[in-house]
Amino acid sequence: MIDFHAHILPGADHGSDGLKTSLRQLELAEAAHVDTIVATPHFYPQSDSFSEFLHRRERTASELANHYHGPIRILLGAEVHMCVGLDHLPGIKELCVSGTSVILSELTFRGYAGNMGETFDRMQDDGLIPILAHVDRYDPDIIESYFSQGVQGQVNADALIHRFGRRHLLNWIDDGWVIALGSDIHMTEKGYGPYLKARGILGDRAGRLDRETARLLKDAKALTNGETQKGEGSWISSR
């Protein structure tokens, strides 16, 4: 079971206030039988220094890797706030899930959510695979305009729990536009309860999403897990 979107790096953003919280988040994920988590700290190109972000992510990822010895494979990524021209950011590849060209891309809520078409186009031309974060949060017409240009999406677990709006999310999964499920976990209050509940609602679709996500991440390199520590390399190819 893969969690494609999670804020679990200690102190990297408001998702975890420190190591104790991050380890508790991973304990909750283990109890839910999650085996793979993509750590996706927020990156805001409008206000964050890119080098500081990379440094912070590296430091917090190392701290977690040094203290977590459980079975979950943790992959390193980012949740990148979209802005027009993001494709010009030197080193943008660093924001992809480690070892892949997959970049979790968050649209803004205000006004500009529909203005990213050309930026996504250029990102795709450059070989990146942008995945829209929590597609459940936005105007479906805007999201479908991105689907029509080949950008796929991730859905948050808690959106599937509510009946309102669920139908079109399930349709998007069935049509192959939504290819990943995320807890979007922040701190520990909600834990993995909504994630498990969502999987129950998804039924067979949950396994299909896992397979599609695994395909997307087939070249990913794990930050920490028993297998890579034994030198077996890519977590999926080692299966």
The residues that touch Fe ion, with contacts defined as CB under 5 A, are: 79, 184
Cβ-based nearer residue to Fe ion, 184 or 212: 184
Question: How far apart are the C-alpha atoms of 134 and 91, rounded to whole Å?
Answer: 24
Cβ-based nearer residue to Fe ion, 78 or 220: 78
Rounded to a whole number of angstroms, the minimum distance from the CB of residue 30 to Fe ion is 21
Rounded to a whole number of angstroms, the minimum distance from the CB of residue 195 to Fe ion is 13
Cβ-based nearer residue to Fe ion, 187 or 236: 187
Rounded to a whole number of angstroms, the minimum distance from the CB of residue 79 to Fe ion is 5
Cβ-based nearer residue to Fe ion, 79 or 210: 79
Q: In a 10 Å sphere around its CB, with 0-12 CB exposed, 13-18 middle and 19+ buried, how is residue 135 labelled? A: buried
156 phi and psi angles, rounded to 5 deg: -85, 140
Cβ-based nearer residue to Fe ion, 137 or 219: 137
Rounded to a whole number of angstroms, the minimum distance from the CB of residue 7 to Fe ion is 6
Rounded to a whole number of angstroms, the minimum distance from the CB of residue 184 to Fe ion is 4
Name the residue whose CB lies closest to Fe ion: 184
